[in-house]
Structure 1
Amino acid sequence: MFDTAPFHDSSQASPRDFGSCSSMPPPPETSTAAAHGRKKRRRRPKGDQSSIVGGAIEFVKELEHILQSLEAKKFALLEHGNVTTNDENDQKPKIGSPFGQFFAYPQFSCSDSRLGNKYTSQSKAAIADIEVTLIETHANIRVLSRRRLRQLSKMVAAFQSVFLTILHLNVTTLDSLVLYSISAKVEEGCQLNSADDIAGAVHHMLRIIEEEAILGCHT
């Protein structure tokens, strides 16, 4: 007598007979591609972080330059009496030092009486406002001085002579004044070991430029 048990066709088995598809190992080429993607993602952040930081620094420098330019325009308006206050006495606002907000703890500072159109660099005291901050080998330098012929090119050459490489430079002018905002790298071989040393060197550079300008006027 024949067995009447139903015949089971393995070719039509449901997924439950073999487990879910997710438990099946991926093909070798898929595993290789995934591993390559993970390695690429691990390598990417270092470069991305450097570019992001570099871009952020450039953006901050651009904003700083815009702020300095606006401050120069504001001071010029105040200087020429084109801006008035709305107080009861209708007095003109008191004019402070131009760009004074950009110098928190300057190593060299000129008196307020010599700023603006009355600014002069012929004193034996400080001939410019100079502030330097130093973090490892990166120096931020701000200089407010009287404008002189070929002053910037002479400063760049002087920086190179003491192994300071200028990375970024903003220049803002106001009448006879000029504000330099400089980012510089302290290169190997530089003998300037502190912010005060760098500020002193910059002041010495400016004094030489000033003396050359005065001698040029007398010849």
Structure 2
Amino acid sequence: MALQALSSTELFNFINMYDSAPTPFSCNNDSSETSPQDQNIGTCSSMPRLSHPPPQAETSVQGRKKRRRRPKVCKNKEEAETQRMTHIAVERNRRKQMNEHLAVLRSLMPESYVQRGDQASIVGGAIEFVKELEHILQSLEAKKFALLEGSNKDHNNINNNQNSDENKQFLGSPFAQFFAYPQFSCSHQNQLGNKYTSQSKAAIADIEVTLIETHANIRILSRRRVRQLSKIVASFHSVFLTILHLNVTTLDSLVLYSISAKVEEGCQLNSADDIAGAVHHMLRIIEEEAAMLGCQS
């Protein structure tokens, strides 16, 4: 209503005066809620504000310290070359000795045991040859014992069974030399007298086990039973023992087993005593089954 009373000239001057006046800028509609900092600013122009990075980021970047690298020990070129040549000479000498030993080992074996000339074939053939020699030795020992026992009987018949106890002690137990420290012993305990025969009172066989890493060497001297060998092999398989080599030597009612076995993964037998105990348990079961069959027959 007030604008209608003004003339056109006065109205134009009023509009120009209103546009030329600075317009205050406020972020809030209510002036009472303005912070003291905003009151000090008063007005702001329409030009955009320049954004500056926060000072904390600059101080954090400047505050980082570079890690000091440890000084590398620079060896003299002559020392490094001398060390390298020494290592090469030692390795060459080691290979030379290995090849010489393998050549000697191959020359000691029959050609049938070595099909190829590589290291693995030579060592594998040597293992087979040693096992064969062991079997021959055990067989000769059995024949020797049988001959001595036969001559002893003839001598006792001539002398009217005099000094028979002395002759028995002279003969000793068969295959005694193959049992140095048995975990179980039923025939050698009086002769060996070692501390490893504490379980020999209830033993039904001579059992000696040596364990190196995952390979076990087992010797068993027991009485011969029906299907004894097949049951032993099946029992070994059930406890994760793989038989690699097997020698069997018989003497009258006795049998000597020389077994080389590998301890497979999953086997719960962690020591030589554990394996010996498991083998003794197998033989005890076989003896009980044989006794039951004898009673039934």
Q: TM-score scaled by structure 2? A: 0.51
Q: Which structure has the larger Rg?
A: 2
- Which of 94, 118, 128 is the aligned partner of 1:58? 128
Aligned residue pairs: how many?
A: 162
Aligned to 1:182: 259
- Which of 185, 189, 192 is the aligned partner of 1:109? 185
Per-residue CA deviation, residues 42-69 of structure 1 (Å, 9 max, x unaligned), is xxx8x81211111111010000000000
Does residue 201 (structure 1) correspond to residue 271 (structure 2)? The answer is: no
Does residue 161 (structure 1) correspond to residue 238 (structure 2)? The answer is: yes
Aligned to 1:77: 147
Work out which structure has the larger RCO, using CA pairs closer than 8 Å and 6 or more positions apart in sequence: 1
What is the letter of the counterpart of residue 182 of structure 2?
P
| Greater than 4 Å deviation, 4+ residue runs | none
Q: Percent identity?
A: 84
Report the 3-state secondary structure (helix = DSSP H, G, I; strand = E; otherwise coil) of the residue aligned with 1:79: helix
CA contact (8 A) 2:214 2:263 kept: yes
Aligned to 1:67: 137
- Which of 202, 208, 213 is the aligned partner of 1:136? 213
Once the 2 structures are TM-superposed, how far is the Cα of residue 111 of structure 1 from its aligned partner?
3.1
* Equivalent-residue separation in structure 2 for 1:187 and 1:153 (angstroms): 20
User: Which residues of structure 1 form unaligned runs of 5+?
Assistant: 1-44, 85-90, 115-122
Once the 2 structures are TM-superposed, how far is the Cα of residue 79 of structure 1 from its aligned partner?
1.2
CA contact (8 A) 1:171 1:179 kept: yes
- Which of 212, 220, 225 is the aligned partner of 1:148? 225
Matches within 5 A, 1:7-86: 48-81=118-151
Once the 2 structures are TM-superposed, how far is the Cα of residue 213 of structure 1 from its aligned partner?
0.1
Aligned to 1:20: none
User: Which residues of structure 2 form unaligned runs of 5+?
Assistant: 1-98, 100-116, 156-165, 191-199
CA contact (8 A) 1:130 1:199 kept: yes
Q: Give the superposed CA RMSD.
A: 2.5
* Equivalent-residue separation in structure 2 for 1:211 and 1:147 (angstroms): 13
Report which of the two has the higher share of strand: 1
Per-residue CA deviation, residues 143-181 of structure 1 (Å, 9 max, x unaligned), is 000000000000000000000000000000000000000
